[in-house]
Amino acid sequence: MITNTELEYKGNLFPAQITSYQKNVDVLNFITKNGVALQVTVLRDSVLRFRYATTGIFGNDFSYAITKYASRGYNKLEIDETDDHYIITTAKLICKIDKTNLKKTIYDAADNTLISEDELGFHWEESYQYGGDIVKMSKISPDGESFYGLGDKPVHINLKGKRFENWVTDSYAYGKDTDPIYKTIPFYIGLHHKKAYGIFFDNTFRSFFDFAHERRHVTSFWAQGGEMNYYFIYGPQMSDVVANYTDLTGKPHQLPPLWALGYHQCKWSYYPESKVRDIAAKFRELQIPCDALYLDIDYMDGFRCFTWDNERFPDPKKMVKELEDDGFKTVVIIDPGIKIDMNYDVFKEALDKDYFCKRADGPYMKGKVWPGECYFPDFTNPEVREWWSDLYKELIEDIGVRGVWNDMNEPAVMEVPGKTFPDDVRHNYDGNPCSHRKAHNVYGMQMARATYQGLKKFAYPKRPFAITRAAYSGTQRYTSSWTGDNVATWEHLWIANIQAQRMAMSGFSFVGSDIGGFAEQPTGELYTRWIQLGAFHPFFRTHSSGDHGDQEPWSFDEDVTDIVRKFIEIRYQLLPYLYTSFWQYADEGTPMLKSLVLYDQDDPHTHFRTDEFVVGDHILVCPIQEPNAKGRRMYIPRGKWYNFWNDEITHGGKEQWVDADIDKMPIFIKAGAIIPKYPVQQYVGEKEIDQLTLDVFYKEGKENSTVFEDAHDGYDYIKGRYSLRNFKLTGKPNELIIQQYKSGKYITPYNTFKIELHGLPFKIFKIQIDNEEALFEDVRVNGDNTLVVTKDFTELHIIGK
């Protein structure tokens, strides 16, 4: 007979003293008296992994976030033992593990300064409802510590004093401080005493982060299931932390086609076909550059994925081909919900093959989305992903669609309290069966992965272009993203700026917002200011809801159209600069956008700046984020900067007023920069580039710049057919030297550079190219400080009187 019906709530449990230690090459295993196991893996000198098991037994080591291409290896690994600690030393870090309780302290090996220290350290609480543990970690936060990252959070760049939840959520018309929203990226950067470190908590369950919110000097993170499994990444530069995290979770698998960095136009919805053609014709008539037009859910037959509405789009292949002939790539939406319809081939095939998600007791997971009642493929099953990727054959290979946009993949479910699947839904999880509690945050990622694989297969030899709304760490390997269903308000313009910066510092640069706002209707002024910001975001797309007014560039007054055209043209001129920034991101993990703290962490004034950011290495921008503004105060980082509009030189390190009426936005170029520019095109590939313009901004001192080019699509660049030009500028009072080092086998179509010299403090007296004097008429020197030189020079020497 059972007499005690009360649960024994044990509360927080902690590791006891270490009883055994074992080393296996780069993996160190510690066991405590109460059976807790700690596994420390030394991935790199600056990257340590900490993995805990409360039963002493680790489950299968599987992660969707960690890429198989992540760098491994270290220069030094020493293990020492004292009476109180085990001490792990690499070339960059010293990690001390307390023998009595597994608490860790981590120091910089170069100067022995403290970087990170456990407070309570690892602890856990048994989950009586679900089984397993609620796993927790807390660390001491020293005075003055700031926190950044965590992906798509619509809050101040600095996270200090706030608490967050990670649970991918459909958040229509979210606002400032709404949490959670569409993405889960459980990675943050801590910065104190001019040194930065990162922590990536690779746990896909619902998780939480507290940045000294509950207790002033304590930072903590915890999850409602799974393992305490996190990576400690040391800088000390923030840029190195971000690059190492991006290396760990994956850089983009390939560059995007150049057209994907052009301007895109989207609406819910452009239909019928005549409407799409009218939009395309208007862009060309008004000479507003545009590379892609989007078809939202209304192109489908009753919202059934992979179908067409034959009345609205009677001949999609012909339409797509004719749009392509006029320079427009067609991008279509695909959602995860598959309509329950026995006459619908996609549904019938998935049903026959048992590819849909099921509830715990066997019934299919049924939910309402746009088509009505739907079943949902289990994208965590590799067989389902392969099937899904093959479904793209007709859209991509036969009809000629060039990109796919995955929406509603949180997964979103209508008319249910949680807006998504119930917790008991079952998933394959690549052979690690689990509930939706574990799979929820990666569902959209795995859908995007399957879409990417289909595009890569059927777009070949062209490069794939995919977009996703939902994401987990590592999704940047496969796809771009946007920030979800925002609103046409000035506050949302501020939010869009923050989100793009934060995503970039969280390893995911290829991001933009719905320009002008998805919900409601912007004024012409708000739309103009949003286009100005969007022109400097990696993904540049206007998107709006069909429930409101028009949001094409010509939908407001003529003045707005002219300014919007001007900024889209600036975007197209800067395409080689942006493409180079993307190559640096894909090659090194360098974020394409840099918040000021990421750009100059040693300047304490940058730690709380939200509005200003640096694009690539050399362009500083700051959006205007309020109506009726004739300019704004902004912080300009240390160093010399040229005003983009008038070449005035500004000395940074302080906040100052910058004029910017409606037709301008504060843009500055770093002194010493060499900025590559293309001519304005109506779409990528409209013109053969017969000359590359290099804007050279004089500096007394040295500065390096890079230009990466290739065929702008295809995979030849992977085989070495690229052109990488490294420029070193050296400025002296009476001379300017530009040295060029070229690598790669790609031959650019142009033979000359047009060099436009900005801020030259002397009158040109003599020009030498590779130590030979050049005649002024040969290089076409004129009064506006421009000259034309061969693209193959090694050293250009401009000498003044």
As given in the structure block, the two tokens for residue 194 are 């001019």
d(CA 453, CA 478): 8
485 is catalytic: yes
CA geometry: angle 608, 613, 615, nearest 5 deg: 155
User: Is 410 labeled as catalytic in the residue annotation?
Assistant: yes
CB 720 within 8 A of CB 698: no
Q: How many residues are listed for the chain in this entry?
A: 801
- C-alpha closest to that of 630 among 708, 542, 529: 529
**Distance (Å) of CA 271 to CA 164, 274, 307, 528:** 40, 7, 15, 25
Calpha distance 694→33 (Å, rounded): 66
Task: Give the count of beta carbons closer than 10 Å to the beta carbon of residue 274.
Answer: 10
- The rounded distance, in Å, linking the Cα atoms of 299 and 395 is 12
- CB 172: neighbour CB atoms within 10 A? 14
Q: Helix, strand or coil for residue 284?
A: helix
Per the residue annotation, which of 202, 407, 552, 710 is the catalytic one?
Answer: 407
For residue 662, report the phi and psi dihedrals to the nearest 5 degrees.
-55, -25
Catalytic pick from 485, 525, 569, 695?
Answer: 485
Tokens 């180079």 correspond to 580
778 flagged as catalytic: no
- In 557-628 the beta strands, taken as DSSP E runs, fall at 593-595, 613-615, 619-621
Q: Does residue 266 contact residue 541 with C-beta atoms inside 8 Å?
A: yes
* Pairing, β 654-659 against β 631-636: antiparallel
* Residue 198 near residue 241 (C-beta atoms within 8 A): yes
Distance from C-alpha of 341 to C-alpha of 9, rounded to nearest angstrom: 48
| Residue 23 CB coordination number (10 Å) | 13
Closest CA to 238 of 183, 191, 304: 191
- The C-alpha torsion from 626 through 627 and 631 to 634, rounded to 10°, is 0
**Residue 442: its H or E element:** helix 436-459
Active-site residue (options: 410, 552, 703, 710):
410
Q: Which residues are catalytic?
A: 407, 410, 485
